[in-house]
Chain A
Amino acid sequence: MNIFRIIGDLSHLLAIIILLRKIWKTRSCAGISGKSQILFALVYTTRYLDLVTTYVSLYNTVMKIIFIAVSIATCYLIYMKFKATYDHNHDTFRIEFLLAPAVILALLINHDFTFLEILWTFSIYLESVAILPQLFMVSKTGEAESITSHYLFALGSYRALYILNWIYRYHNEEIYDLIAIVAGIVQTALYCDFFYLYITKVLRGKKLQLPA
């Protein structure tokens, strides 16, 4: 474990807590892409099945359970409890165009052709693009509430910090995982324009307005 991964995991935890709390407190999921949340729930449930087979550490187990529980709870709030506030009209990204390539790529490029390894690889590929429906929705509505942009900043920072973690592990522990690294770079790259807008606008108290 290293500082980059710890801060990255905490940033990730912060992001999903910010989102769950925002929906719960405002009793509304306006501006939130339910499709992205479904993809994230799928990412965690497919990646963390090894909860039942391998024990890494208490930290690892607790965090996996939290990620699965919070992502499913968020989907429940969006699609069940506060369904009336779900913005169907702007959450229109075709997620089959993300799921199919992730499945195909996981079957073609993986470390080991076993059930759990294919699921893990699918989860890594899917996570790299899972935020697209949310970014697409923000671009369609042309703006995002500041709490949503804090959520996106924390979520984007987590994988950016993981890149530093992978560099650290490559040099200090002499191990690396190319699938996770390439997917992590793609995932972080997708946030770049958002990071720019967040730093130049939101941190100066302005609303996040995207050029529609």
Chain B
Amino acid sequence: PVHEQDHDEL
């Protein structure tokens, strides 16, 4: 698993 880059969550 990779680290999430873009903050697509609220």
Contacts and interface: CB of A to CB of B under 8 A. Distances in A.
A14 to B, nearest CB: 14
Interface in A25-73: 50, 54, 56, 60, 63-64, 67
Contacts of B3: 111, 175-178
Contacts of B1: 170, 174-176
Contacts of B8: 56, 60
A12 B10 CA distance: 10
Interface residues of B, number: 10
A9 interface: yes
Interface in A136-192: 162, 165, 169-170, 174-178, 180
Interface residues of A, number: 22
B4 to A, nearest CB: 4
B7 to A, nearest CB: 6
Contacts of A175: 1-4
A180 B6 CA distance: 12
Interface in A188-207: none
Contacts of B2: 174-175
B3 to A, nearest CB: 7
Contacts of B6: 54, 56
Contact of B10 (A54, A64, A170): A64
Nearest to B7: A120
A177 B8 CA distance: 11
Interface of B: 1-10
List of 8 A-B pairs having minimum Cβ-Cβ separation, nearest first? A177-B4, A174-B1, A175-B4, A56-B8, A63-B10, A176-B1, A9-B10, A170-B1
7 contacts: A12-B10, A64-B10, A67-B10, A175-B3, A175-B4, A177-B3, A177-B4
